Amino acid sequence: MPDLDKIFSGPIPELYETLLVPMIFEPYAADLKARLGSMNVSQILEVAAGTGVVTRALATLPGAEIVATDLNQAMLDKAATMGTARPVRWQQADALALPFGDDEFDAVACQFGAMFFPDKSKAFFEARRVLKPGGVFIFSVWDRIEENEFADVITVALASFFPEDPPRFLARTPHGYHDRTLIAHDLAAGGFAKSPRIETVAARSRAESARAAAVAYCQGTPLRNEIEARGGSRLSEASDVAAVAIAREFGARAVEGKIQAHVIEIRK
């Protein structure tokens, strides 16, 4: 399944933007904007920009020029339709082979993308390479799934629905890279000589209903690919199972749960 974990296409970009972005990504986009806004950065590269929630936030910073990249063109296409406060440059790019010269950017930002990199040290090497001396690499990764309530409840529910072959996308990939020691090791292997600053940040995830939360995860992420690989007709059933599980824990109408992530900063 790891190959399917990287595919954000078909209906996923639209559902990701409309349901998942406001539910779990916007609080951390505001946090990242505040961090970069306190620094003197004028050239920003964003890696794994997705549908542009961070890009839109960064575009409100005065004076910063932004290049926003993602491996999936479909995600960038959706991001471009959303608009930004001022123009940014959208460019398809692989984080493991960035198409930019050495020492080009004051900052490299990546919100919840590092977990998807097949070779994290290589991606970190690339981030460091394109940074100017003294530049900052700032990125976020989700903490372990048990600290992220909706994702955990859905994963447990789907394990009961598919007992012989449970979908593990959420635990395996989005919530599979949370070990602080491993992150520091991979940064060092990528060429960063300084120690990272790692801060654990908790926030609240909100959705208009248990059904919306379930659809966001089951249909608006590559978990969809994993469910459909078990039979195309199972997607609706799995979404229903997830919605019932969320409603059981948090109520059927407006729901709220804990989310938690690590935010990492390191200088070149």
Instruction: Name the residue ranges covered by the structural domains of the chain.
Output: 4-267
Can you name the residues that pair with 65 across neighbouring β-strands? 43
- Would you place residue 2 in the very low, low, confident or very high pLDDT band (cuts 50, 70, 90)? low
Average pLDDT, the chain: 96
Q: In this predicted model, what pLDDT tens digit does every residue of 11-63 receive, in sequence order?
A: 999 999 999 999 999 999 999 999 999 998 999 999 999 999 999 999 999 98
Positive/negative CA dihedral, 167, 124, 148, 144: positive
Tell me what pLDDT residue 233 has.
84
How many angstroms separate the Cα of 16 from the Cα of each of 26, 53, 193, 214, 221?
12, 11, 36, 12, 7
List phi, psi (to 5°) of 78.
Answer: -65, -40
Q: How far apart are CA 43 and CA 123, in angstroms?
A: 19
pTM for this structure? 0.96
Percent of the chain with pLDDT over 70: 99
Q: Does domain 4-267 have CATH number 3.40.50.150?
A: yes
The reported pLDDT for the residue numbered 174 is 97
Pairing of strands 131-142, 197-207: unpaired
Write out pLDDT tens, residues 236-262.
Answer: 999 999 999 999 999 989 999 999 999
Q: What is the mean pLDDT of residues 158-166?
A: 96
Burial class (CB in 10 A: 0-12, 13-18, 19+), 99: exposed
